[in-house]
Amino acid sequence: MRIVVVGAGGLGGPIAMATGAAGADVTIVDPDVVELSNLHRQVQFGGDDLGAPKATALAAKIVGRGGRARGRAARFEPGNADQLAADCDVIVDGSDDPRTKFVVADWARARRRAHVIAAAVRYGGNVFTSAPGAACYRCLFEDPPDEAPTCGEAGVLGPLVGWVGGIAATRALRLGGGDPAVAGTIWIVDDLRTGKAARELTLARRHGCACGAA
């Protein structure tokens, strides 16, 4: 199973490490380097990783545990998406950039690839899952927001990214294993502090969305 994980931070770390431990061949794409301010929520990194490219440092952690992984120090863009992800079975977005999430989702829809889009900020998060024939990311969110806070700007509760990342990894592995039952769903935790159970919604395709022709 070949999985591409976009983002090597608070979400991408748990996603990549969990899918790598499960035996997937993982490619990690992230343009950033490890900074001291990352360490409280990006538990895959330590002080020795400061200044290193996140993608290659995370890949090294997976390989060191007996997995298969490679890092690509790059931003996932329309112009390089085919080069970075052409051979994947599933692509997972764990970035904190709304624009990147739409790039990943649009590429996956156009290339008919199963995909997972994970998000977490402050105290809540969600995991959107899709595959050919199911509702796409633009059925739910038509366009990227003009402004949206990142984890670095708004903060995020450390345990939250582990939980959301674990759900995203599980769904990616299910899709990669041929289980389409989670496609067209979104898993949501509104506020980790409240203790309320997470919820899951099944989505219908939005009338007029481009995925209707896919």
Please list the active-site residues.
151
How far is it, in rounded angstroms, from Cα 54 to Cα 60?
Answer: 10
How far is it, in rounded angstroms, from Cα 79 to Cα 205?
Answer: 27
How far is it, in rounded angstroms, from Cα 106 to Cα 43?
Answer: 30
How far is it, in rounded angstroms, from Cα 214 to Cα 181?
Answer: 19
